[in-house]
């Protein structure tokens, strides 16, 4: 057999064939199918329209109404009710509501719902996050989700893989977020279109799981179908205590075929900032110039995890956010929320003048809990800075890691964390 | 399938937030979505678009979120088809699944301006620019996708498969 990439191996296994070739169309079995309060109502409508009576497996269809939670208005409440009624009718084991709900892509890995070796589809583009666990995970639309809810299978085109090798050690204040922003800056928002991105190298081997999740989260921002990190000891440590099903580690074979191989020396990678209005407009934080801020948001499926709040707490301890800045901190899940509180970070955040939001997508997609007015500028640890993403079409969003965000909240304009913490 | 319509020309990397901003995603009613179609890119679009009109855009049309509301809004606004240099992956899938005709042709995009009249033959992939008197050939739609369209979309093909046992 030819050597294969980890992505090809997972796809072959789920298609029930020995091997697959990039470009080939396959029908594959799906381990987890995810929908949220924006995408699932359409999928549920299609499901019913097709005359389906049962989901293919009530343990494998996951619904997370996280975008407008707690319901921001009557229309979003109606959307969520569609999910709630469907979840009860089909006795779905993975339905999260009220105080159990968190941002989907933070919640599923944390709860062990997604495990290494899985094939996951989600009607949400950031489903690619789970590649951090060594799973093949990709975003699809609502009709695809409906098809999987009925059949448990979906068609896929086997992607080519681009390999990214990160050598050396990360510099201070640099995290998985900076690596992916740098890559998107280099290849562009369609630089990995239709392809899988595989992340390897010494720096990745040493990268925490939370940083890996942030890294894979933004593969879609390079147009990729999926991002993946070959599972290792760090993966094992993370999933061992969480996995609710048996899992399998796959690895790429030496000599496997890649469409491109890009190498980075991490000694050259500074904290990155993506400027409006595309994630590819990245610069070293020191090259951004003086950008005054009206709002800073620390949260989302990219950077709303404990590691992210930890670095924010470290920087904000004993400091105050600038008078001009509304600082909004959103722990991504109830568990993260409670841990952050136990660690005393809420005190630090509140003394810094921050607003602490319950877990929600909220302002990340301009939903609620921190919308921008015309002419306002935000720095966010989220993943998209499209026109109007966080509010008015005339508002601006910059993207960064949580250290840069926290330090910039203190100064009132975008700065390097070294300029705040000596 | 043949379409004739007026061109609305847009640039590169038109993301799904520009096609249908998230502030309107608290509904999935096509008529509601159509009212805000392309709003953050071109506020005049939704009120001025006529049935059959064609969106023509540079590379990576539909990048960003997986919201099927994007092709739904475009279709409900009366647009007959979208022609771009390339499409973002999820948008491409969604369009086929819910029946919005799309074609890729760099030449047709380079040679079209807003207001031109195009005639598009989906079966042959021929795009004729009647204003400029030029004709272009779009990239052929993969046979698998053609089968999906012939079956009436993904859900119809699944219904057929299930009925066949
Ligand atoms: S946090 Fe933002 S990017 Fe992540 S799922 Fe929610 S809306 Fe999407």
Long-range contact pairs involving A152-156 (C-beta distance under 8 Å, separation at least 24): A152/A29, A152/A30, A152/A56, A152/A57, A152/A60, A153/A27, A153/A28, A153/A29, A153/A30, A154/A27, A154/A28, A154/A30, A154/A121, A155/A25, A155/A26, A155/A27, A155/A28, A155/B144, A156/A11, A156/A25, A156/A26, A156/A27, A156/A28
Q: Which residues pair with residue A163 across a beta bridge?
A: A198, A261
Contact of A133 with A158, CB cutoff 8 Å = no
Does B68 have pLDDT greater than 60? Answer: yes
The Å distance, Cα A383 to ligand 1 centre, comes to 8
CATH number of the domain to which A191 belongs: 3.30.499.10
pLDDT at residue B159, rounded to an integer:
83
> Going by DSSP bridges, is the β-strand pair A396-399/A377-380 parallel, antiparallel, or unpaired?
parallel
Q: How many domains does chain A have?
A: 2
Contact of A109 with A92, CB cutoff 8 Å = no
What is d(CA A150, CA B160) in angstroms, rounded to the nearest whole number? 13
Phi, psi of A127 (to 5 degrees): -55, -25
Question: Is there a domain that residue A297 lies in?
Answer: yes
Chain A segment 185-244 residues within 8 A of B by beta carbon are 189-190, 193-194, 223, 225
Q: Does B15 touch chain A (CB under 8 A)?
A: yes
What is d(CA A275, CA A379) in angstroms, rounded to the nearest whole number? 9
Minimal C-alpha gap between B18 and chain A (Å) = 7
Query: Closest residue (by CA) to atom 6 of ligand 1?
Result: A361
Minimal C-alpha gap between A285 and chain B (Å) = 24
Question: Is there a domain that residue A1 lies in?
Answer: no
If asked whether residues A337 and A211 sit together in one domain, one would say no
If asked whether residues A278 and A245 sit together in one domain, one would say no
Q: Cβ–Cβ of B88/A190 closer than 8 Å?
A: yes
- A104's tokens: 């989907």
What is d(CA B124, CA B134) in angstroms, rounded to the nearest whole number? 16
Q: Given the cut 0.85, state whether the ipTM is greater than it.
A: yes
The strands making up A396-399's β-sheet, listed across from edge to edge, are A282-284, A272-274, A396-399, A377-380, A295-298, A326-329, A355-356
> Which of A264, A298, A326 is where one domain is finished?
A264
Residue among A127, A143, A190 minimizing CB distance to B97: A143
If asked whether residues A304 and A404 sit together in one domain, one would say yes
pLDDT at residue A391, rounded to an integer:
96
If asked whether residues A233 and A321 sit together in one domain, one would say no
Contact of B61 with B94, CB cutoff 8 Å = no
Q: Tell me the mean pLDDT in the region B42-63.
A: 97
Chain A neighbors of B86, CB-CB under 8 A: 190, 193
If asked whether residues A345 and A248 sit together in one domain, one would say no
Host domain of residue A337? 271-419
What is d(CA A388, CA A10) in angstroms, rounded to the nearest whole number? 37
Minimal C-alpha gap between A388 and chain B (Å) = 7
Q: What is the DSSP string of A173-205?
A: T--HHHHHHHHHHHH-TTTTTT-EEEEESHHHH
Question: Is there a domain that residue A158 lies in?
Answer: yes
Query: Containing H/E element for A32?
Result: strand A32-36
The Å distance, Cα A384 to ligand 1 centre, comes to 9
Optimal mutation site among A67, A141, A374, interface B, most CBs of chain B within 10 A: A141
Q: Is the CB of A386 under 6 A from ligand 1?
A: no
Q: Cβ–Cβ of A387/B41 closer than 8 Å?
A: yes
Q: Is the CB of A300 under 6 A from ligand 1?
A: yes
> Which of A229, A264, A299 is where one domain is finished?
A264
If asked whether residues A186 and A226 sit together in one domain, one would say yes
If asked whether residues A104 and A149 sit together in one domain, one would say yes
pLDDT at residue A97, rounded to an integer:
95
pLDDT at residue B146, rounded to an integer:
74
Minimal C-alpha gap between B43 and chain A (Å) = 10
**Minimum CA–CA partner of B91 in chain A:** A141
The Å distance, Cα A369 to ligand 1 centre, comes to 13
> Which of A264, A291, A310 is where one domain is finished?
A264
Q: Does A373 touch chain B (CB under 8 A)?
A: no
**Of A4, A220, A35, nearest to A120 (Cα)?**
A35
If asked whether residues A253 and A303 sit together in one domain, one would say no
If asked whether residues A250 and A354 sit together in one domain, one would say no
Does B164 have pLDDT greater than 70? Answer: no
pLDDT at residue B165, rounded to an integer:
54
Chain B segment 120-149 residues within 8 A of A by beta carbon are 142, 144
Altogether, the residues listed in chain B come to a count of 165
If asked whether residues A110 and A197 sit together in one domain, one would say yes
**Of A89, A32, A18, A30, nearest to A60 (Cα)?**
A32
Residues of chain A with pLDDT under 70: none
Question: Is there a domain that residue A201 lies in?
Answer: yes
Q: Tell me the mean pLDDT in the region B27-55.
A: 96
If asked whether residues A255 and A278 sit together in one domain, one would say no
Q: Which residues pair with residue A398 across a beta bridge?
A: A379
Question: Is there a domain that residue A172 lies in?
Answer: yes
Contact of B93 with B142, CB cutoff 8 Å = no
Q: Tell me the mean pLDDT in the region B48-68.
A: 97
**Of B116, B162, B154, B158, nearest to B135 (Cα)?**
B116
Q: Cβ–Cβ of B93/A141 closer than 8 Å?
A: yes
Contact of A162 with A184, CB cutoff 8 Å = no
The Å distance, Cα A300 to ligand 1 centre, comes to 6
What is d(CA B63, CA B14) in angstroms, rounded to the nearest whole number? 7
If asked whether residues A111 and A133 sit together in one domain, one would say yes
| pTM (predicted TM-score) | 0.96
């Amino acid at each position: 057999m030819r050597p294969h990439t980890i992505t090809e191996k997972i796809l072959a296994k789920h298609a029930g064939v020995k091997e697959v070739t990039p470009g080939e169309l396959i029908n594959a079995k799906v381990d987890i199918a995810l929908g949220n309060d924006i995408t699932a109502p359409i999928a549920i409508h299609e499901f019913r329209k097709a005359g389906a009576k049962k989901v293919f497996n009530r343990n494998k269809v996951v619904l997370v109404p996280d975008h407008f939670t707690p319901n921001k208005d009557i229309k979003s409440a109606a959307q969520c009710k569609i999910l709630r009624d469907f979840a009860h009718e089909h006795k779905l084991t993975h339905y999260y509501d009220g105080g159990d709900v968190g941002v989907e892509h933070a919640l599923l890995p944390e709860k062990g719902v997604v495990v290494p070796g899985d094939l996951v589809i989600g009607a949400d583009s950031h489903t690619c996050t789970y590649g951090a666990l060594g799973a093949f995970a990709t975003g699809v639309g609502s009709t695809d989700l409906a098809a999987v809810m009925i059949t448990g299978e979906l068609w896929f085109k086997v992607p080519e893989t681009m390999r990214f090798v990160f050598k050396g050690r990360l510099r201070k204040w640099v995290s998985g977020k900076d690596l992916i922003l740098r890559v998107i800056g280099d290849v562009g928002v369609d630089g990995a279109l239709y392809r899988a991105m595989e992340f390897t190298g010494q720096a990745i081997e040493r990268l925490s799981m939370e940083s890996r999740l942030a890294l894979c989260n933004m593969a879609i921002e390079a147009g990729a179908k999926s991002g993946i990190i070959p599972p290792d000891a760090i993966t094992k440590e993370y999933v061992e205590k969480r996995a609710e099903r048996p899992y399998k580690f796959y690895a790429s074979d030496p000599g496997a075929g890649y469409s491109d191989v890009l190498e980075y020396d991490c000694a050259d990678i500074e904290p990155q900032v993506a400027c409006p209005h595309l994630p590819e407009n990245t610069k070293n934080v020191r090259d951004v110039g003086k950008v005054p801020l009206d709002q800073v948001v620390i949260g989302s499926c990219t950077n709303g995890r404990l590691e992210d709040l930890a670095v924010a707490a470290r920087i904000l301890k004993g400091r105050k956010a600038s008078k001009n800045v509304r600082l909004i901190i959103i722990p991504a899940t109830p568990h993260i929320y409670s841990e952050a509180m136990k660690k005393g970070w809420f005190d630090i955040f509140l003394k810094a003048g921050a607003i602490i939001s319950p877990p929600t997508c909220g302002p990340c997609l301009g939903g609620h809990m921190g919308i921008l007015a015309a002419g306002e500028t935000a720095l966010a640890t989220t993943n998209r800075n499209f026109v109007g993403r966080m509010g008015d079409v005339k508002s601006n969003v910059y993207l960064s890691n949580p250290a840069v965000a926290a330090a910039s909240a203190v100064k009132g304009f975008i700065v390097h964390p070294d300029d705040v913490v000596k | 399938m043949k379409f004739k319509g007026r061109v609305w020309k847009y640039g590169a990397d038109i993301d799904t937030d520009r096609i249908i901003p998230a502030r309107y995603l608290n509904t999935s009613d096509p008529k509601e979505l159509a009212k805000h179609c392309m709003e953050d890119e071109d506020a005049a679009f939704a009120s001025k678009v006529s049935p059959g009109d064609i969106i023509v855009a540079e590379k990576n049309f539909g990048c960003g979120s997986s919201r099927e509301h994007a092709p739904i809004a475009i279709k409900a606004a009366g647009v007959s088809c979208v022609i771009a240099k390339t499409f973002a992956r999820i948008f491409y899938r969604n369009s086929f699944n819910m029946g919005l005709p799309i074609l890729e042709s760099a030449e047709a995009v380079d040679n079209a301006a807003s207001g031109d009249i195009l005639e598009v033959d989906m079966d042959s992939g021929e795009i004729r620019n009647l204003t400029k008197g030029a004709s272009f050939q779009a990239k052929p739609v993969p046979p698998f996708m053609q089968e999906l369209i012939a079956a009436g979309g993904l859900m119809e093909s699944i219904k057929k498969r299930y009925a066949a046992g």
